[in-house]
Structure 1
Amino acid sequence: MALTLRSLFFLSTAFGHCSALVGRKTNPSPAAKITVDTSITYQEVDGLGASQAFQRAEDVLGKDGLSPAHQAELLDLLYSVEKGAGFAILRNGIGSSNSSTSNLMNSIEPFSPGSPNARPNYTWDGYDSGQFPLAQQAQARGLPTLYGNAWSAPGYMKTNDDENNGGYLCGVMGEHCASGNWMQAYADYLVQWVKFYEEHGVKVSHLGFLNEPQFAATYAGMLSNGTQAADFIRVLAKTIKAARLDLGITCCDGIGWDDQEAMMAGLQAGPDPAEKYLEVVTGHGYDSAPTYPLSTTRKTWLSEWADLTGDFTPGIFYDVDGPGEGLRWARNVQIAFVNANVSGFLYWIGAENSTTNSGLINLLGDEIVPSKRFWSMAQFSKFARPGARRVEVSSSASLLYTSAFRNKDGTIATQVINNDTTAYDVTLSVKGAKLHSSRVLPYLTDNANNLTALAPVAVGRDGTFQATVPARSLVTFLTS
């Protein structure tokens, strides 16, 4: 039987003593040294998060039987720093459909106005496939970053006259339509979506206009290369400026990290490179993982990734290193931040009624079932907050993988992933920062624990402390 949210929540927040980190051992564990140096800094953190696009927001809002009380608990679990993971980024889909059948996302201009220069016929239902009320609830819990992302322009703006099955935006380089050039009309369309949100009290921070532009999907999508994306970015930037919106442009949500890297040359070319108008370069992890920095001076986000291959696996942190297991996703997050220098990491779906691993949390009627992937991401999101800086950290043990972040309030979050079959006795030293507390707070996720608060560990005046990291586990050490 799946655990209820209340029991899982208790596991994640109870500050009782736990013997998993410190206790009697019949056999000595191998020793390892971990050193954090806060004087060496890297990228700024924007946070972790997920999407609830394609009507998954309605799952959170009770479409399939989730009670109001459990809706509130789920929202806390996703977006509250105090009560849950504190996800900092929500990716909303900007709809391009003229109906809401199946899981389609409604367009704010469902039918063509007749031509690119005709007066648009915008419409706003105050719901946006459930995403608007979800965004209200998330921002009420402290969400700082709302990313509006269009999978496609409406079909009548595209070369194939269809929101699905690929097609290009009419007017970008090499793509012409009998109806005319729709680039300005599409820019106006996106900006109007943002205005509808902001006129009703929800701040949108980032705006994107493509999703996996290398893939002609049977669902909403639009093709583009880097040069064509650059054509539109210049138009969109001028439109945002004219509207006086405080809004960062993103591009291009390539289907894989390598695919996004291949688009960079087009974004950087010419006397007016489109890259300068971007705030974030976004890429996905499906075709290729984020294991290296993209060739850009802008921030980067891993803006979508998930295990789309297996049945939902709620209780497995480590078994056979399967694609949906928690340890695998802890490493995915860590590698993206450490090796690829990303500032943000987004799973595909946060919570949904599904039988697969496409979501972090499964909803079964009125029951909430978090996966170990969710708890692994929470170990980063809850403690490495927006505005933090990644800092240098090293480990003497090859199977102890590490990352560290210094928050704006001075707290330091160090994640230690033990991918070995044995526990390690760790000596961890913090250099370059004066610690103001005499204790360290450890949090553990493994097969038996979900973000469990362990007994505090004493820290010396030199910033050094000792702890035991269990086999096949993720421990976050929070120092202040």
Structure 2
Amino acid sequence: MSYPRPRARAAGVALALAVAGLGLTGTGTAQAADPVAQVWVTTPDGTKKLASEGTIPFTATPQTVDIRIDANSKAQKFTGAGASVTEASAHLIQSLPADKRADLMKSLFSPSEGIGLNYLRQPLGSTDFNSGGFYTYEDTPGQFSISREQQEIIPVLKQATALNSSIRFMGSPWSPPAWMKTGNSLNGGELKTDQYQAYADYLVKAIKAYGQQGITLTDLTVQNEPEFATSYPSMSMTSSQQAEFFKVLDRTLTAHNLPTNLLAYDHNWDHPNYPIEVFNSTQGISRIIGAAFHCYGGVPSAQQQIVNAGKRVFFTECSGTDTTSTFADTLSWHAENLVVQNMRNGGETVINWNLALDQNGGPHQGHCTTRCNGVVEIANGNVTRGAEYYVLGHVAKFIKPGATRIGSTSQGAGGVQNVAFQNPDGSRAAYVVNTATSAQRISITDNNQSAAYTLPAGAVATLTWQNGSNPGDTQAPSVPGGLAATASGSSAIDLRWNASSDNTAVTGYRIYRGTTLA
């Protein structure tokens, strides 16, 4: 865009400019102002929920609780954050009036107007959270169909991807069809050894059927909680059985030219040896990229064994409950364990269980007698966002897929804990939770500069900033008078000046990052 160009008689007029973090000296050299960090916070009493606290400058002295960033220490990439659109969740979302449903979906999935959830772990068939009875895609041999999921689940997934095209999907079955199992029931039992190929074919059909709906199942686990056979769709599967089935499934996926990744286990932190045993028995199968974990037993540090084995870690399920838990309890525990400790121990994803449940923690047909929570609650046509929503929002809104975890000092249990990432555009983000019983004055120190902030007890904050070397800076082209400017930290900068030695004109430009002036 250009502005009118009146003639200017004076030559060599000095240029002075101060615009949103950009200074320009008389020599025409761009000077970056002192960097600042933006802060968003959620407090345990709920008075602030993903609330902007403005900016804090990197002009403070390091505090006693100092988060020191080491960008040279690099670990795993961030893959995504989200939940599962169970049939229960989809039914509740679809029950909302169209305007409320649109607002809810926007708040969940839009990167610009919501928290931008970008990973969905999709059950393949029924779970313990259904709006109707139990089912699989092929309850009768030879009659495969995902038509039941086309009624409510897939429309929700399509609406989500329309808001956020970068959503990544995982498929996870709770049970094969009953006729493939010992006991001939969806509940419990084991996969018959002579049905390994049939089950592999079934999963290939599921991947293709979802693909025909425009939904790519990039990742796959083959049995939810393989060490917990119970009174809802479930199945026991030992590590040796899973390894043998993976061999059949790998051949079948390859035969159908499907690049689907496989993850072992998909169960609690308390048995990391399970996926290790699977890896040891399936060496050479490159599509087995890592292991999936849940939160209901053990501790997140168990994931480090998977990292040490050279494999990737996906955290795939946790549900808060409402017996004794409050907003404050869930906020702190989930932030500490599902985000900070999970990611400091290799986790690439943060995935809650049900995306939505009602005021009774349902509809459900399982063991959630203590009222499980969804990311949101839908009751009587109204939506309430729980602590889970804000725990995920503090991740997904600020840490982008492909971000690299970088080094940061962190206190342990009972202190201020954090995890830090560098986004693909060079910006940095620190996710911080104060598990202490009192407010803590903290600082972020990066490139020998510190920014300070007081974090309330039990609160979660995300701090974002451009790193000191400004790797995302964009050099603008030359402008009249031989001057150049660097756009740093904002999407657009208006420049107006008197052109110099050629006595041409007063000219203005708006320079956009990453664009070239005509």
Return the TM-score normalized by structure 2: 0.71
1:86 to 2:121 alignment: no
- Checking the alignment, whether the CA contact within 8 Å between 1:384 and 1:413 is kept in structure 2 is yes
Q: Is the 8 A contact 1:48 1:346 kept in 2?
A: yes
Instruction: Measure, in 1, the Cα distance between the counterparts of 2:189 and 2:285.
Output: 23
- Structure 2 equivalent of residue 403 of structure 1: 419
Amino acid at match of 1:109: E
Give the CA deviation at 1:219: 0.3
1:402·1:417 contact (CA, 8 Å) conserved in 2? yes
- 1:285 equivalenced with 2:295 (yes/no): yes
2:270 is aligned with 1:258: yes
- 1-structure distance, mates of 2:390, 2:126: 33
Q: Distance in 2 between matches of 1:274 and 1:218?
A: 36
1:252–1:13 distance in 2 versus 1, CA, 3 Å:
closer
Q: 1:10 to 1:472 in 2, by over 3 A?
A: closer
Q: Contact 1:147–1:206 at 8 Å: present in 2 too?
A: yes
Contact 1:106/1:128 (CA < 8 Å) preserved in 2?
A: no
Q: Which of 399, 404, 412 lines up with 1:389 in the alignment? A: 404
**Partner residue of 1:150 out of 137, 161, 173:** 173
1:60 aligns with 2:93: yes
Alpha carbons 1:284, 1:305 under 8 Å: kept = yes
Partner of 2:390: 375
Counterpart residue number, 1:454: none
Secondary structure, counterpart of 2:217 in structure 1: coil
Instruction: Give the letter aligned to residue 336 of structure 2.
Output: R
Conserved in 1, the CA contact under 8 Å of 2:84 and 2:352? Answer: yes
Deviation string, structure 1 residues 24-75 (Cα, Å, up to 9, x no partner): xxxxxx743221111111111112111122432111122xxx2111111111
Q: CA deviation at 1:336?
A: 3.4
The match for 1:3 is none
Alignment match, 1:217: 230
Q: Which residue does 1:267 correspond to in 2?
A: 278
Amino acid at match of 2:138: E
Q: For residues 414 and 247 of structure 1, do their structure 2 counterparts lie closer, same or farther at Cα, with a shift above 3 Å needed?
A: same
Q: Which one of 226, 229, 236 corresponds to residue 242 of structure 2?
A: 229
The separation in 2 between residues aligned to 1:396 and 1:217, in whole angstroms, is: 39
Which position in structure 1 is the counterpart of 2:157?
Answer: 135
User: Displacement of 1:12 after TM fit?
Assistant: 5.4
Larger radius of gyration: 2
1:241 lines up with 2:254 in the alignment = yes
What do the CA deviations read for 1:98-152 (whole angstroms, capped 9, x no partner)? xx985445422121x3xxxxxx322242734622112111222224211111111
- For the pair 1:354 / 2:377, whether they are aligned, the reply is no
The one-character-per-residue Cα deviations of 1:152-195 (angstroms, maximum 9, x if unpaired) are 1000000111111x111111xxxxxxxxx111111111111111
Match of 2:332 in 1: 327
- Confirm or deny that 1:424 pairs with 2:440: yes
Task: State the 1:15 CA deviation.
Answer: 5.5
* SS of equivalent residue, structure 1 residue 153: coil
Structure 1 residue 422, shift from structure 2 partner: 3.3
Q: Which runs of 5+ in 2 are unaligned?
A: 1-45, 58-62, 361-370, 467-518
Is the alpha carbon distance of 1:265 and 1:15 closer, same or farther for their aligned partners in structure 2, counting shifts above 3 Å? closer
Change (3 A) 1:274 1:126: farther
Secondary structure of 1:269's match?
A: helix
| Paired AA for residue 430 in structure 1 | D
What letter matches 1:392 in structure 2?
G
1:5-44 equivalences under 5 Å are 31-44=64-77
Displacement, 1:326? 0.8
> Following the alignment from structure 2 to structure 1, what is the Cα–Cα distance between the partners of residues 73 and 197?
44
Compared CA separation, residues 412 and 104, structure 1 to 2 (3 A): farther
Matched letter for residue 268 of structure 1: F
Q: Are residues 421 and 326 of structure 1, via their aligned partners in 2, closer, same or farther at CA, if it must alter by over 3 Å?
A: same
Structure-2 residue corresponding to 1:182: 195
Partner of 2:462: 476
What does the per-residue CA deviation read over 1:446-474, in whole Å, with 9 as the maximum and x for residues that have no partner?
xxxxxxxxxxxxxxxx5432332233311
Report the 3-state secondary structure (helix = DSSP H, G, I; strand = E; otherwise coil) of the residue aligned with 1:82: coil
Note if 1:364 corresponds to 2:405: no
Kept in 2, the 8 Å contact 1:107–1:154? The answer is yes
Cα distance in 2 for partners of 1:33, 1:336 equals 18
Secondary structure of 1:230's partner? helix
Q: Indicate how the Cα distance of structure 1 residues 248 and 367 shifts in structure 2: closer, same or farther if over 3 A, else same.
A: same
Larger displacement relative to structure 2 (181-190 or 243-252): 243-252
Q: CA RMSD in A?
A: 2.9
Structure 1 segments unaligned to the other structure (5+ residues): 1-8, 23-29, 114-119, 172-180, 432-461
Spell out, residue by residue over 1:218-244, the C-alpha distance to the aligned partner (whole angstroms, 9 max, x if none): 000111111100111111111111111
The answer to whether the 8 A contact 2:290-2:313 is kept is: yes
Query: Per-residue deviation at 1:393?
Result: 0.5
Distance 1:385 1:240, change over 3 A: same
Aligned residues: 401
The 8 Å contact of residues 94 and 105 in structure 1, kept in 2 or not, is answered as no
- Give a deviation string over 1:297-327, Cα, whole Å, max 9, x none: 22111211122462784xx32xxxx4xx211
CA distance in 1, matches of 2:402, 2:111: 15
Asked whether the equivalents of residues 89 and 356 of structure 2 are also in contact (C-alpha less than 8 Å), the reply is yes
User: Match for 2:143 among 121, 124, 127?
Assistant: 121
365 and 395 in structure 1: CA distance in 2 versus 1, 3 angstrom threshold: same
CA-to-aligned-CA distance 1:406-431 (integer Å, 9 cap, x gap): 11111111122222343333332113
Q: How far apart are 1:359 and its partner, in Å? A: 1.2
Corresponding residue for 1:192? 205
Shift in Å, 1:396:
7.2
Shift, 1:279, TM fit: 2.5
- Per-residue deviation at 1:394? 1.1
Q: Which residue of 2 aligns with 1:5?
A: none
Mark the CA change 1:197 to 1:281 in structure 2 (over 3 Å): closer, same or farther: same
Confirm or deny: 8 A CA contact 1:96 1:163 kept in the other structure. no
